Chain A
Amino acid sequence: MQQTDSTRSGPLREEPALTLIHAAKTFGPVVALADGTIEILPGEIHALVGENGAGKSTLVKILAGLHRPDSGDFRVAGESVQFRSVGDSKEAKISVIYQEPTLFPDLSVAENIFIGRQPKGRFGLISRSAMVKEAARLFERLGVPIDPTRIAEGLSIADQQIIEIAKAISLDAKVLVMDEPTAALSGVEVDRLFAVARSLREKGTGILFISHRFEEVFELCDRITVMRDGRYIATHQTVDVTVEEIVKEMVGRDIGALFPKTEAEIGGVVLEVEQLSRAGVFKDISFQVRSGEIVALAGLVGAGRTEVARAVFGIDPYDAGAITFEGRRLKARDPQASITAGMGFVPEDRRKQGLVMELSVARNVTLTLRNKFTTAGLINGAAERRAAKHWSERLHVKTGSLEHPVSTLSGGNQQKVVLAKWLATEPRLLIIDEPTRGIDVGTKSEVHRLISELAGRGIAILMISSELPEVLGMADKVLVMREGQITAELNRADANPESIMHAATSTAGGTP
């Protein structure tokens, strides 16, 4: 794949690889994008930041050819373009890499890269060897050791992204759009991705990088464009601005404390987990959560935190150990029993696990209450609707009607619906897995405030979080997991980024 665009440079200023000016897109009464404006130069990494609902995804979809803008000026390498399909976008040398790549699991890595345009050999048949050789060359260029002949199934998300990038390079992409690529990556994987992005920048590719993580934006990007409420706000050279300034532009106001943890009175033990083990997943997990206490499970992605929580709640089985809830042994593998006992679970994947996306907001809120509003086994519809209304209003769920499918809400509002449906059960313990994943800054602090308030009312909270600031800001106690074991139990006073990261990565196992 030859890379010849280093020759293309203007006398005064480089021709932008891509410009989109004043693009608008509406869906019915919803204005998804009022003013989408972005300029990507060749050889720069350009960050696009904004809260959820700021219009970033719509802008990306316009670049990808999935949406046609209602108005606005769209140019690629100076030429006005109008994309009718994803194919048009690819033709214009734009490649989009989504948060969770969609490879064909049963095909080999090389086949995935060349899907739809396999190199032909003799007799017009697909030449597997040419494909594998070419893929190997791409990986060598990217400096990542992935075997092109292995099948895609079982690859980590990080590796899948690299494959998507390899595909983009093989397509000779001039613009690479990465939509929250680091959301599911661990630290090492992020570093590798950044190295790849930098080497592409050197070769003249323009990269649009979308992220909620400011550290990454400031570390990697040359320029930052801020969007808010579907509008372009400003573009800055990264060196000229601070995180605070960017955040202020994103939310259009000062946000005080990001994590407004209020002190709560800590009471008796609500949940006690003793020597919980599941072969190959986690081992000897013991901890307690008291009423009013926020216990955080920290650690790297894949350390087994979610698996422990799922076993505690009864979604997954466990081999040994005991779970006691308010002094009573809890039945294994029975979520309904856990719910009846007074437990709630806000899962990490809102779309797949937290909500039934096609059902209405009201039905989702009351799905946990099926057994609560019944007289002689029959559901009392009126009481159910009252509860749905009460809890959605209480959490400020923004929706046109409670009858709208929950899929029409923004990510932050969806998360509020998940919280509402569990709060409606009036739990004594709430397990919250990644409470603010993919949620914008404004709603994030609202969710934090809410969690803090719940603890204040005596609800015990077990929170799983991969965001260190969140863990440090919210938790009374931090349990750090590494490879299926708890490697540290830190009090609020002892918890700091170093102590947590040390326990999450150190090789010395065992409980202290």
Chain B
Amino acid sequence: MSETTTPTSNAPAPEAPLTRSPSTTPWRKTRTAKLLASRDAITIYALVAFLIYASISIPRFASPVTTGFLLLDVIPVLLIAMPMTLIIITGEIDLSVASIAGLTSATMGVLWAGGMNIWLVLAVSVLVGVACGMFNGFLIAVLGLPSLAVTIGTLALFRGLALVTIGDNAVANFPKPLTAFFTSKLGATGIPTVMIGVLVVIIAFGVLLHFTPFGRGLFGMGYSKEAAAFVGIKVARSKFWLYVASGAVSALAGIFWTLRYTSARSDNATGLELAVIAAVLLGGVSIFGGKGSILGVLAGVLLIGSLNYALRLGRVSDVVLITVTGLLLILSVVAPSIGSAIRGWRHTRRVRRSTEP
């Protein structure tokens, strides 16, 4: 291959009078500046600012107890937000995640109550999530149906299946050591032990999105599926596996939910998809696809989580919490457009001024 063109060969560049190009600006300068003003960075600033504010002004906020409960609260959102980030970057969406978690929970309850070995129960539950994801993936990637319609459908379908599976019952007698493990903390830090596993999931998705050819392809797909196909990105296949991953991780979230609250019910995690999508968008992922990062989403999840927790400490009712989540969701979608409108306006003004004699 190298005999045709070697990068180091002094290219016999044809003398091109029209296009002398002295202009490939250095990377460094602009990159750092850009990084500090990026959408992710802004979410992180907001998170830090809020944590500082809350620690000072809300009594009882800055304590290991807070860390523990806050993290336990956000873990399901954090988990599901990972595949959701990748899916939204490709320009699709998965609304069925909370229902998959619910179906997993119901499955766990029935199997455990039926006397199956607990490890087998966990394995089967994850497989249920994978199957749900494959079903979504088949309809969206293979048949090419719009993900919004498909996953609204499966949102209802999977929740319905959960109800069929377990009915109105709740199974609560899971093995004590297991449920204890799920609420245990790492020493005096207040950090839940399961965070280690969650961290592994986060890092896996972060690396997948930002440091692998597959992840690179997702950004390309998010902007233009056709152009992506032309560089050999397997659009349908990528999408299919993303939905499978989403199903599997939603199952993990469902297992966590069940064991943390020691209760397998059909309505577990209801409405969780709203929190996940709000956090992902708040974290700077563009709902139109093509833009976003795991770091930003991490900050987004923690920001919504700690905001909710602080409000709850202040005895604010759940109704208000949902309202706040909804507002944040709208804000995170609207803010970038307002931002770019302002930038555009300032830009034209500057140009006007500079062109006036």
Of B111-119, B227-235, B271-279, the segment with at least 4 beta carbons within 8 Å of chain A is B227-235
A402 / chain B contacts, CB cutoff of 8 Å: 24-25, 27
A253 to B16, CA, bound (A): 12
- The reply on A398 being an interface residue by CB < 8 A is yes
Report whether B19 and A24 are in contact in the complex, using a CB–CB cutoff of 8 Å.
no
Of A171-179, A382-390, A467-475, A501-509, the segment with at least 4 beta carbons within 8 Å of chain B is A382-390
Report whether B211 and A28 are in contact in the complex, using a CB–CB cutoff of 8 Å.
no
A453 to B21, CA, bound (A): 20
Q: How many residues of A contact B (CB 8 A)?
A: 67
Given contacts A28-B351, A355-B227, A457-B4, contact A367 B16 (CB under 8 A): no
Report whether B18 and A335 are in contact in the complex, using a CB–CB cutoff of 8 Å.
no
B19 / chain A contacts, CB cutoff of 8 Å: 396, 398, 413, 442-443, 446
A396 to B351, CA, bound (A): 28
Report whether B211 and A379 are in contact in the complex, using a CB–CB cutoff of 8 Å.
yes
- The reply on B219 being an interface residue by CB < 8 A is yes
- The reply on A426 being an interface residue by CB < 8 A is yes
Partner of B30, one of A358, A363, A401, A427: A401
B229 / chain A contacts, CB cutoff of 8 Å: 315, 335
CB of B19, distance to nearest CB on chain A (Å): 4
Give A51's nearest chain B residue, CB to CB. B18
Partner of B231, one of A339, A390, A453: A339
Report whether B352 and A347 are in contact in the complex, using a CB–CB cutoff of 8 Å.
no
Report whether A449 and B27 are in contact in the complex, using a CB–CB cutoff of 8 Å.
no
A389 to B217, CA, bound (A): 20
B34 / chain A contacts, CB cutoff of 8 Å: 403
Report whether A389 and B24 are in contact in the complex, using a CB–CB cutoff of 8 Å.
yes
- The reply on B13 being an interface residue by CB < 8 A is yes
CB of A336, distance to nearest CB on chain B (Å): 4
Chain A window 323-353, contacts with chain B (Cβ cutoff 8 Å), 1 for yes, 0 for no = 0000000000011111110100101000011
- The reply on B3 being an interface residue by CB < 8 A is yes
CB of B146, distance to nearest CB on chain A (Å): 18
- The reply on B223 being an interface residue by CB < 8 A is yes
A354 to B231, CA, bound (A): 8
Given contacts A358-B223, A370-B213, A374-B213, contact A345 B16 (CB under 8 A): no
Give B227's nearest chain A residue, CB to CB. A356
Chain A window 247-270, contacts with chain B (Cβ cutoff 8 Å), 1 for yes, 0 for no = 000010100000000000000000
- The reply on B36 being an interface residue by CB < 8 A is no
Report whether A251 and B18 are in contact in the complex, using a CB–CB cutoff of 8 Å.
yes
**Chain A residues numbered 405-426 whose CB sits less than 8 Å from any CB in chain B:** 413, 421, 423, 426
Partner of B216, one of A370, A392, A393: A370
- The reply on A428 being an interface residue by CB < 8 A is yes
Report whether A400 and B227 are in contact in the complex, using a CB–CB cutoff of 8 Å.
no
**Chain B residues numbered 11-32 whose CB sits less than 8 Å from any CB in chain A:** 11-14, 16-21, 23-25, 27, 30-31
A413 / chain B contacts, CB cutoff of 8 Å: 19
- The reply on A80 being an interface residue by CB < 8 A is no
Chain B window 342-356, contacts with chain A (Cβ cutoff 8 Å), 1 for yes, 0 for no = 000001001110010
- The reply on B1 being an interface residue by CB < 8 A is yes
- The reply on B337 being an interface residue by CB < 8 A is no
**Chain B residues numbered 229-267 whose CB sits less than 8 Å from any CB in chain A:** 229-234
A392 to B7, CA, bound (A): 12
Chain B window 316-357, contacts with chain A (Cβ cutoff 8 Å), 1 for yes, 0 for no = 000000000000000000000000000000010011100100
CB of B212, distance to nearest CB on chain A (Å): 6
**Chain B residues numbered 152-175 whose CB sits less than 8 Å from any CB in chain A:** none
- The reply on B224 being an interface residue by CB < 8 A is yes
Report whether B231 and A359 are in contact in the complex, using a CB–CB cutoff of 8 Å.
no
Report whether A398 and B23 are in contact in the complex, using a CB–CB cutoff of 8 Å.
yes
Partner of A367, one of B211, B216, B234, B352: B216
A426 / chain B contacts, CB cutoff of 8 Å: 1-2, 4-5
Report whether B220 and A458 are in contact in the complex, using a CB–CB cutoff of 8 Å.
no
Report whether B232 and A428 are in contact in the complex, using a CB–CB cutoff of 8 Å.
no
Report whether A352 and B1 are in contact in the complex, using a CB–CB cutoff of 8 Å.
no
- The reply on A371 being an interface residue by CB < 8 A is yes
- The reply on B207 being an interface residue by CB < 8 A is yes
CB of A7, distance to nearest CB on chain B (Å): 41
Report whether B355 and A70 are in contact in the complex, using a CB–CB cutoff of 8 Å.
yes
- The reply on A394 being an interface residue by CB < 8 A is yes
Report whether B226 and A353 are in contact in the complex, using a CB–CB cutoff of 8 Å.
yes
- The reply on A26 being an interface residue by CB < 8 A is yes
Given contacts A356-B228, A390-B7, A442-B18, contact A378 B220 (CB under 8 A): no
- The reply on A357 being an interface residue by CB < 8 A is yes
Chain A window 118-145, contacts with chain B (Cβ cutoff 8 Å), 1 for yes, 0 for no = 0000000000000000000000000000
- The reply on B305 being an interface residue by CB < 8 A is no
B17 / chain A contacts, CB cutoff of 8 Å: 253
Report whether B5 and A457 are in contact in the complex, using a CB–CB cutoff of 8 Å.
yes
A356 to B233, CA, bound (A): 13
Partner of B11, one of A356, A368, A394, A403: A394
Give B216's nearest chain A residue, CB to CB. A370
B31 / chain A contacts, CB cutoff of 8 Å: 403
CB of B272, distance to nearest CB on chain A (Å): 31
Report whether A379 and B24 are in contact in the complex, using a CB–CB cutoff of 8 Å.
no
- The reply on B290 being an interface residue by CB < 8 A is yes
Partner of B351, one of A27, A335, A399, A421: A27
A66 to B342, CA, bound (A): 20
A339 to B229, CA, bound (A): 12
Report whether B232 and A339 are in contact in the complex, using a CB–CB cutoff of 8 Å.
yes
Chain B window 284-306, contacts with chain A (Cβ cutoff 8 Å), 1 for yes, 0 for no = 00000010000000000000000
Q: Pick from A370, A403, A421 the residue with the most CB of B within 10 Å.
A: A370
CB of B75, distance to nearest CB on chain A (Å): 27
A315 to B235, CA, bound (A): 12
B18 / chain A contacts, CB cutoff of 8 Å: 251, 442-443, 446
Report whether B351 and A352 are in contact in the complex, using a CB–CB cutoff of 8 Å.
no
B351 / chain A contacts, CB cutoff of 8 Å: 26-28, 70
A337 to B232, CA, bound (A): 8
- The reply on A397 being an interface residue by CB < 8 A is yes
CB of A503, distance to nearest CB on chain B (Å): 29
A28 / chain B contacts, CB cutoff of 8 Å: 347, 350-351
Given contacts A27-B351, A70-B355, contact A357 B223 (CB under 8 A): yes
Report whether A359 and B234 are in contact in the complex, using a CB–CB cutoff of 8 Å.
no
B13 / chain A contacts, CB cutoff of 8 Å: 394, 396
A426 to B234, CA, bound (A): 21
A428 to B23, CA, bound (A): 30
CB of B152, distance to nearest CB on chain A (Å): 25
A335 / chain B contacts, CB cutoff of 8 Å: 229-232
Report whether B230 and A353 are in contact in the complex, using a CB–CB cutoff of 8 Å.
yes
Known: A352-B226, A353-B227. 18 other contacts (CB 8 A): A70-B355, A334-B232, A336-B234, A339-B232, A359-B219, A367-B216, A367-B231, A368-B232, A370-B217, A371-B213, A379-B216, A396-B13, A426-B2, A442-B19, A450-B14, A457-B4, A457-B5, A459-B4
Q: Which 7 A-B pairs have the closest CB atoms?
A: A370-B213, A336-B232, A442-B18, A335-B232, A396-B19, A401-B25, A378-B211
| Residues of B participating in the A interface, judged by any CB pair closer than 8 Å | 1-5, 7, 11-14, 16-21, 23-25, 27, 30-31, 34, 207, 211-213, 216-217, 219-220, 223-224, 226-234, 290, 347, 350-352, 355
Listed A/B pairs (27) with beta-carbon separation below 8 Å: A27-B351, A28-B350, A28-B351, A70-B351, A253-B17, A339-B232, A353-B226, A356-B220, A363-B219, A363-B220, A368-B232, A374-B213, A379-B213, A379-B216, A394-B11, A397-B21, A402-B24, A403-B34, A426-B1, A426-B4, A426-B5, A446-B16, A446-B19, A449-B14, A453-B12, A457-B5, A459-B5
